[in-house]
Structure formats: C-alpha cells, structure tokens
Amino acid sequence: MKLKALALILIIGLFCTSANATTAADAEKSIQSAQNLWDKTKLAGHEWNTIKPLVAQAKQSLDNKKYAVAIELANKATQQAKLALIQAEHEKTNWLNNLPK
Amino acid sequence: MNLLSKAATTLLLISLTSVSYATPEQDKETFQSFYTERFPDISKADFGDGVYALDQDARDQWEAMNDFPPYEDNLEEGEILFSTPFENGKNYASCFENGGENIRQNYPKFDSKRNMVVTLELAINECRINNDEEPLPYKKGDIAKISAYMASTSEGSEINIATPTSKAELAAYDAGKQYFYSKRGQLNFSCANCHIQNVGRKARSETLSPALGHPTHFPVYRMKWESFGTLQRRFDTCNKQVRAEPLPGQSEAYRNLEYFMTYMSNGLPVNGPASRK
C-alpha cells in the first residue's frame, strides 16, 4: 500500500515537473504563433485592435512565469487573428454587397 | 448539372464585375441619388451639415452653439501658423496655387507623376519639408489648425475632385471604394453599414450621419476632442468603434479612402471647419 502511494506521488511529481518545463516553451510557441497570424492580418489590411493587447498581455504573463495564462491569452489572440483573416478573405468579394442599391 | 453550375458561376461573376466596374461618375450618381431619394426634403448641399441635416433638435442646439463657435481660437491660430514665414523666408502660400486660398475643394488630388493621392494635409507637410522644416504630426494639432484655416478660405466653393480616368487614378479610387464598403474590425462593420444602410437610424443614442457631405466640413472641432481633427482622425475613431486597428496618418489606404469619399461629395459646398459633438 505504501509502495503504491509512493509510486503515485512520484508519477504525479514527474508530470508536474514536465508540465512546468513544457509550459514555458509552449507559451513562447503560442505567442509566436499568435504574433505570426497577427502580422498576417496587418498585411491583409484587416487588423483588429483587440489582438494587440492580448499578445501584449500574453508576453507579460510569460515574463511573470504565468505560462498557462500566457498560453490562454495567446490562443485567444490566435483565434481572433484567424477570424480577422477569414473576414479579409470574405471581404475580397463581399464588399460589393454593401454598395447602395 | 456541371454545365449549369458553371453557367451560374459565370453569370454571378459577370454581375459582380459589372457592379464593381461602374465608372466613378456612375458611382457618384448612385451614391448621391441614394441620399436624395431617401431624404427628399433635404437639399443636396445640406448633407454637408452631417447629422444636423437629419435631426432638427440636434440642429437647433448646434446652431445656437455656433453663435460663438468653439473653434474660433484654433482657427485664428491656424491663420497665424499659415502666415508665419519659414526660416528661409518663404511660407505656405508659396507652395500652393492661389497662395493657398480657396483650394480646399480641389483636395485630395491625384499626383500623376508619383501615382499617388495627395491630401491637403500631406501637401502642407510636403510644403514644410521642401522648405527645410520638420513635418507636423498628422490628424490633429497644428496641421489640423492650418488645414482648418485653409478650408475656411474655401467656404461655399463646391467640392471639385477631378474624375479619376487613368489606370493609376482608378486603382487608387477603387482601393478607396473597396475600403469604404468592406467590413472590418471585430464588430464586422463597414463604413457603408453605418453611413449608408443605417443612415438616420440610431447607434445607441447617436444618429448615424450620411456619408454624403462627410468631407465638406473637415477639419472638425469635436467637443469630445476639444480640438480640431482632420478627416483621417475621424477615420481612426470609426475604426476603433468597430474594433479595427486605426492606420497611420496619410497611409495609402486612408488617402485612397479620402479620395473616394471626397469624390462622392463632388458638387457639395465646402462648409468647414465645423463643430461636432
């Protein structure tokens, strides 16, 4: 019984350690991914002003070693950048629907 | 079936193409007719009063306020800035036709040598640079005051933007047109969504103004700003309101947008500077 408990603690400890280690790298990766998509929205001429603060906050959280928060914010920025790019793609043709009739 | 779908696609493309390739004159005709038909009791020139052409209560308050316009001091400063010589002894008047007076109605204009739209504010800064002066920051401050003074010398002159005809002019015009009609920002609004489709209706407590006449009264003194702002400063506000990132002053997209919008208001008298809430 004691042996099982010890094994369980060791396994949990192992996961916790690896989670922390990967989270830092993941946060950087998530922020970079958000940054890349954000840059694409600028090129497409459809940058949303909601993305910049999310990326800034994600970077701040990374600096503060709050990796999970950083990833969450970066993912939100990524999601919004994706939507902005979808908007840019749609508006290549859909703008014609707004002409006065 | 395959043939049918191809035919349908072709027809759709033809119809879209024919709309987008309307000439600038046709666009202007449709644009202006939209407003004059929707608001038959308002004269075309009165659209230059913006929302005050549509809302009588707001107009009464605005007219009362204009007994002592809030921009008078700024306008006087603009005149002084305009008249003050540069270090080399020249001044703004030396850069513009007619000494810079009564020319607002001709801007923005297309510079065929550089293949770009030149707004009045860009021309003001180019004048400074050509006279070894530092350019002024765009959108507000001294450049808006100088522009406001220049606009005041054009009061009553009709907007007279040359019809785009060359390939480069049409490219700039079309880019401005597409910007105007494209949805942008997180709220997914185009300029047209507010100022054409919903003109005269309310967005929260504010009546949405007609796009016809927008460029006639800028720079505008807004109570919210407590200062003059150029048309491009107003573009920033609209962009922020739909949660789109504003563009730098005198960016190509903003210049093209100003070109398109001002051409749409051809024939309306200049009535700037003006005050707004």
Query: pLDDT band at A101, cuts 50/70/90?
Result: confident
Please name the residues in contact with B233: beta carbons below 8 A apart, sequence gap of 6 or more. B139, B140, B144, B225, B249
- Burial of A7 by CB count in 10 Å (0-12 exposed, 13-18 middle, 19+ buried)? exposed
Give phi and psi for A13, each to the nearest 5: -60, -40
Whether A89 is in a domain gets the answer: yes
CATH code, residues B25-69+163-276: 1.10.760.10
In a 3-state reduction of DSSP, which class is residue B110? Answer: strand
Ranges of each domain in chain B:
25-69+163-276, 72-152
Best residue in A39, A46, A48 for a mutation probing chain B (most B CBs within 10 Å): A48
Say if the Cβ atoms of A48 and B186 lie within 8 Å: yes
Q: What percent of chain A has pLDDT over 70?
A: 78
Whether A63 is in a domain gets the answer: yes
Report whether pLDDT(A78) > 60.
Answer: yes
What residue spans of B99-250 are helical by DSSP H? Answer: 120-130, 142-152, 167-181, 191-192, 231-241
Tell me, what's the pLDDT at A15?
52
Tell me, what's the pLDDT at B238?
97
Tell me, what's the pLDDT at A12?
55
Whether A10 is in a domain gets the answer: no
Report whether pLDDT(A19) > 80.
Answer: no
Pairing status of strand B116-118 against strand B109-111: antiparallel
Best residue in B33, B183, B194, B261 for a mutation probing chain A (most A CBs within 10 Å): B183
Say how many Å lie between the first and final Cα of chain B, rounded: 58
Q: Do the domains at B25-69+163-276 and B72-152 have one common CATH topology?
A: yes
Whether A49 is in a domain gets the answer: yes
Say if the Cβ atoms of B243 and A46 lie within 8 Å: no
Tell me, what's the pLDDT at B113?
97
Whether A64 is in a domain gets the answer: yes
B191 is catalytic: no
Residues of chain A contacting residue B253, judged by C-beta atoms under 8 Å apart: 45
Say if the Cβ atoms of B19 and A96 lie within 8 Å: yes
Min Cα–Cα distance to chain A from B246, Å: 8
| pLDDT, tens only, B184-199 | 999 999 999 999 999 9
Question: Which tokens is B178 given?
Answer: 């597409």
A79 has a chain B CB within 8 A of its CB: no
Please name the residues in contact with B247: beta carbons below 8 A apart, sequence gap of 6 or more. B235, B236, B239, B253, B254
Tell me, what's the pLDDT at B55?
92
Tell me, what's the pLDDT at B247?
98
Say if the Cβ atoms of B239 and A49 lie within 8 Å: yes
Residues of chain B contacting residue A51, judged by C-beta atoms under 8 Å apart: 245
Residues of chain A contacting residue B193, judged by C-beta atoms under 8 Å apart: 98
Whether A48 is in a domain gets the answer: yes
Per the structure, the count of domains in chain A is 1
Give phi and psi for B134, each to the nearest 5: -70, 140
Q: Alpha-carbon distance A16 to A12, whole Å? A: 6
Considering the four listed CATH numbers 3.90.1150.10, 3.40.50.150, 1.10.760.10, 1.10.150.20, the one that applies to the domain covering B72-152 is: 1.10.760.10
Positions in chain B whose pLDDT score sits under 70: 1-20
Residues of chain A contacting residue B197, judged by C-beta atoms under 8 Å apart: 98
Q: Alpha-carbon distance B104 to B147, whole Å? A: 8
Whether A1 is in a domain gets the answer: no
Query: pLDDT band at A37, cuts 50/70/90?
Result: very high
Tell me, what's the pLDDT at B11?
52
The beta-carbon neighbor of B16 closest among A48, A96, A98 is A96
Tell me, what's the pLDDT at A23?
87
In a 3-state reduction of DSSP, which class is residue B122? Answer: helix
Whether A7 is in a domain gets the answer: no
Say if the Cβ atoms of A100 and B16 lie within 8 Å: no
Residues of chain B contacting residue A84, judged by C-beta atoms under 8 Å apart: 186
Q: Which residue has the higher pLDDT, A3 or B12?
A: A3
Say if the Cβ atoms of B183 and A80 lie within 8 Å: no
Q: Alpha-carbon distance B130 to B146, whole Å? A: 17
